Amino acid sequence: MIKFYENRKWFFINSLALFVIGIAFIFINGVHMDIQFTGGTKITYNFSGDLDVDAAKNEIQTVTKRVVSTQKSTGSADGSSALIVSLSGRESLSTEELEAIDKVVLEKYKDNQITRASTTNVEPYIGARFLRKGITAIVLAIILITIFVTIRFKLISGFSAALTALIALFHDVLIVFFVFVVVGIPLNDGFIAVVLTILGYSVNDTLVIYDRIRENKRMYGDKLTLPELINKSLSQSMRRCINTSVLTFTAMFLVFLFALINNISSVVNFALPLMLGILSGTYSSLCIAPTIWVSLQGKKAK
């Protein structure tokens, strides 16, 4: 039987170290938001052949001095390719800036028969409204999870179980956020999608573990101390949680690998944070939430 509770300090130190690294990268890289949240301009270029989207990003950033993100889109029906350039900012591109971007892109990639297909401006108030809706969705999901866990696990102090599940979820959301910061991915609708996915995935693991704790509590009563109850329950649940995570991680890794090989940056920017979020969700469900729950129960007993 693994002594999870006795090693809780090491778990907390590991998480704290990751948070410190993430905060350090906030000062190093900054936090960038896509035009979906801040407003800005999106330009679409059609092209043929192969094109280095990262090189195009660097060229455009040099010209505009703005935060730029690029991605490649491929039509599944006709095989056509498009370079999508997003420039965040509260002000739309001026005619001179747009012409400068066109000059760089069209001259550098003229062998790709590249042409500008469309230009779309996103007003700042639209981006702010989208951001508020995304945050509202996350908060609503957290509230519903709290209510459900509190009602479902009354036998093991439902509110304490809900509180520690929320701490684990907050841990996972921060890890996902830091992945976006460290890798330099602008926060966009993909971030909201990854967070909501991880919330559901992580809380599912936590509920499975709490369900095992509840069943062992019914079976053994006061024969086991709280640390013994946790260690036994986690040891019984660990294989199931790890197997599920390995299968899910493997599936996402294949998606990530395919997108990386084919230079589909939008899928890469979604799959990479999701993979690391899956690992974080398994870790927090096994090592963070239950050990904090024991500490809270011990304080309540005193």
117: domain CATH number?
A: 3.30.70.260
**Domain range enclosing 70:** 40-122
| Same domain, residue pair 27 and 48 | no
> Could you say which of 96, 122, 148 is where a domain stops?
122
| Same domain, residue pair 243 and 283 | yes
| Same domain, residue pair 89 and 156 | no
> Could you say which of 104, 122, 140 is where a domain stops?
122
Cα distance between residue 197 and residue 193, in whole Å: 6
| Same domain, residue pair 20 and 95 | no
| Same domain, residue pair 150 and 206 | yes
| Same domain, residue pair 206 and 248 | yes
| Same domain, residue pair 211 and 285 | yes
| Same domain, residue pair 75 and 60 | yes
| Same domain, residue pair 142 and 206 | yes
Query: Closest Cα to residue 285, out of 193, 166, 185, 182?
Result: 166
What pLDDT is recorded for position 165? 87
> Could you say which of 122, 153, 171 is where a domain stops?
122
Q: Can you give the pLDDT of all 302 residues of the chain as single tens digits?
A: 678 888 889 999 999 999 999 999 999 888 887 777 777 788 888 888 888 888 888 888 888 877 788 887 775 445 568 888 888 776 667 788 888 888 888 888 888 888 888 888 777 666 677 778 878 888 888 888 888 888 888 777 778 888 888 898 899 999 999 999 998 888 888 888 898 888 888 888 888 888 888 888 888 877 888 888 888 889 888 888 889 889 999 999 999 998 888 777 778 889 999 999 999 999 998 889 888 988 887 666 55
Output the domain CATH number for residue 259.
1.20.1640.10
Phi-psi region of 31 (alpha: psi -120 to 50; beta: other; left: phi over 0): beta
| Same domain, residue pair 91 and 192 | no
| Same domain, residue pair 141 and 73 | no
| Same domain, residue pair 173 and 276 | yes
Q: How many domains are there within the chain?
A: 2
